[in-house]
Amino acid sequence: MSNYYYLVSQLPAVVFSSDSTASLPISFDYFKDLCARFLDGSVLEQINNLSLEPPKEPVDSGSCFLNRWYGWERSLRLALAQQRAAKMQKNFDCPDAATVTQDIQQLARTACAFDSPLEAEQFLNKERLKMIDEFAPIDAFCADAVFAYGVKLLLAARIQKFDENAGMESYRIIYDQILGESK
């Protein structure tokens, strides 16, 4: 417990902003280094393996937060795949259909309805942040709280990489390649 207190008390708040030029309070690498000073064993291993991308197959991580977060994110990605396949009039067999709830299907429908991919990602990131906060434990001095902080930091770093001009340029290149291949 005291190790978690010393670790968490050194972690600065992660504040989300729509401004992609805002800097993060710490990098994810610094976060992992700080965790290595206070934690060890399987907790440190899980921190080193934290990701915004869930494992393809559900795996019990031993962490209530990580199990809930990865399960929710996996379901969201499956629902998004279903929506995109339906838009393209393709069949998509959802391997975990039972875990894709109506709420998650509605999130996917809403995200796919945006004209701008950037607006859709911003919408999804707000929902992801809301779920991280919902799944985070009340006790701020435990492994799950540190995992939640790490996932939030990864999400903030991902948001910071968004650049509308670079995204539009990439979109145009991909679009031109598709049109060039279909001619």
Residue 120 lies in a domain: yes
User: Pick the residue with more confidence: 97 or 43?
Assistant: 43
Q: Is residue 57 part of a domain?
A: no
Q: Is 168 within the bounds of a domain? A: yes
Structure tokens at 103: 């709420």
Q: What is the dihedral of CA 37, 43, 45, 50, to 10 degrees?
A: -100
Would you give the distance in Å from CA 55 to the centre of its chain?
Answer: 12
> What is the Cα–Cα distance from 169 to 23, expressed in whole angstroms?
24
Range of the domain at 100: 2-11+22-51+63-182
Q: Is pLDDT of 99 > 80?
A: no
Q: What average pLDDT does the chain have?
A: 88
pLDDT band at 93 (very low <50, low <70, confident <90, very high): confident
For residue 58, is it within any domain?
no
What's the structural domain count of the chain? 1
Q: Is residue 178 part of a domain?
A: yes
pLDDT, one tens digit per residue, over 25-55 is 899 999 999 999 999 899 999 999 999 999 8
- Enter the pTM of the model: 0.85
